[in-house]
């Protein structure tokens, strides 16, 4: 059996954090491999457009931004593969990354696997996923032309995606469990001014109902009065937060109670030689602009770690 090739740095995840870590690692001439499960871009590609990444005063589509990130990293020699990472053995000086296609050895690892959408965990959700229940407006919104849909959640994602869905749907109902939105003000203002959007305050979805054609209606409950009601919709988009993609990590990589990876200011995790960047990390602001900052710092710190190995051993 041949020994797997040894990389200086393996970056797991090809969203903004991973691509920026790759750019910095390649410019510093570390032998770097970026592994991505499906395609480059990550969660970014589940949105249509970005309005808060500096340098693009009119905004930029997520597709274009991903292509620009990628082109810049490739210009400095980024090597990347589509391969799902299943586990990591980080106990020795050489980290062993297990993938569906075999093992990869590395002196350091950058975890940049981002997050997946949190489930609502109500009756009918699993049954109607792909038949009326969706977690991605850009993927499924066009199927709801002139139809009535609901969006669950009150954060940036829910409110932004509700606005996006008004391009297709005749009416968009936002179902939110409180009486104030968590989304930033500029997005709230846009939603409140949109005649196609109705916000249902203090309401939770208790069940998603449907038939052979898909979703037909939602069962709602008022959290203050406990009154129940029914809302007729043909689609429901669930945006109730994020779950970090960390199932592949060993327990030695410390997490916070919500499962996000704990790092110091240098993006170092509890395991020497393992760094984390982007949405997967425990932090207060999950944005592209913070993900790229994390990616740069993680690659820089991983570089210093590799140099320290050379000096000590």
Residues acting as catalytic residues = 136, 139-140
Toward ligand NAP, which CB reaches closer, 182 or 196? 182
Find out whether 45 and 65 touch, Cβ atoms under 8 Å.
no
Q: State the nearest-atom distance from the C-beta of 59 to ligand NAP, in Å.
A: 10
Query: Which residue has its beta carbon closest to ligand NAP?
Result: 155
- Closest to 310 (Cα-Cα) out of 4, 8, 5, 6: 8
Q: How far is the CB of 30 from ligand NAP (least distance, A)?
A: 30
Measured from the CB atom, the residue of 18 and 153 that comes closer to ligand NAP is 153
Cβ at position 188, least distance to ligand NAP in Å: 11
Structure tokens at 278: 């982007």
Q: Using CA atoms, how far apart are residues 168 and 41, in angstroms rounded to an integer? A: 24
CB of 192 to ligand NAP, least distance (A): 15
CB of 34 to ligand NAP, least distance (A): 22
Question: Which residue in 193, 199, 196 sits closest to 167, CA to CA?
Answer: 196
Token pair for residue 234?
């043909």
* Nearer Cβ to ligand NAP (90/215): 215
47: nearest Cα among 144, 135, 178: 135
Q: Smaller CB distance to ligand NAP: residue 97 or 152?
A: 152
Integer CA distances (angstroms), 148 to 46, 129, 271, in order: 21, 17, 49
For residue 63, give both structure tokens. Answer: 């597709």
| Choice between 104 and 208, CB closer to ligand NAP | 208
Under 8 Å CB-to-CB from 82, ≥6 apart: which residues?
36, 37, 38, 39
Q: Which parts of this chain interact with ligand NAP (CB under 6 A)?
A: 52, 120, 152-158, 160, 177-178, 182, 204, 239-242, 286-287
Pairing status of strand 79-82 against strand 49-50: unpaired
> Nearer Cβ to ligand NAP, position 240 or 299?
240
CB 73, min distance to ligand NAP, A: 23
């Amino acid at each position: 059996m041949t020994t797997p090739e040894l990389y200086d740095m393996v970056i797991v995840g090809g969203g903004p954090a991973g691509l920026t870590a790759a750019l910095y690692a390649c410019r510093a001439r570390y032998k770097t491999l970026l592994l991505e499960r499906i395609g480059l871009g990550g969660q970014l590609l589940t949105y249509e457009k970005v309005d808060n990444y500096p340098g693009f005063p009119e905004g930029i589509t997520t597709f274009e931004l991903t292509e620009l990130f990628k082109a810049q990293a490739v210009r400095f020699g980024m090597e990347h593969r589509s391969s799902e990472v299943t586990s990591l053995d980080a106990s020795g000086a050489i980290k062993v990354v297990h993938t569906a296609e075999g093992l990869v050895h590395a002196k350091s690892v950058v975890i940049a696997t981002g997050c997946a959408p949190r489930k609502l965990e109500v009756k009918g959700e699993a049954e109607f996923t792909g038949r009326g229940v969706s977690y991605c407006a850009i993927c499924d919104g066009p199927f709801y032309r002139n139809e009535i849909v609901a969006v669950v959640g009150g954060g940036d994602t829910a409110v932004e995606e509700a606005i996006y869905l008004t391009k297709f749907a005749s009416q968009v109902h936002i179902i939110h469990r409180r009486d104030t939105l968590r989304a930033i003000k500029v997005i709230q203002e846009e939603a409140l001014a949109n005649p196609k959007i109705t916000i249902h305050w203090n309401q939770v979805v208790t069940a998603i109902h449907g038939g052979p054609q898909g979703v037909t209606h939602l069962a709602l409950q008022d959290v203050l009065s406990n009154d129940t009601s029914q809302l007729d919709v043909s689609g429901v988009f669930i945006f109730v937060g994020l779950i970090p993609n960390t199932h592949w990590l060993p327990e030695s990589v410390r997490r916070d109670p919500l499962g996000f990876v704990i790092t110091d200011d240098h993006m170092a995790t509890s395991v020497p030689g393992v760094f984390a960047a982007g949405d997967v990390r425990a932090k207060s602001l999950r944005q592209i602009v913070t993900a790229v900052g994390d990616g740069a710092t993680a690659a820089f710190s991983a570089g210093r770690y590799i140099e320290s190995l050379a000096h000590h051993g």
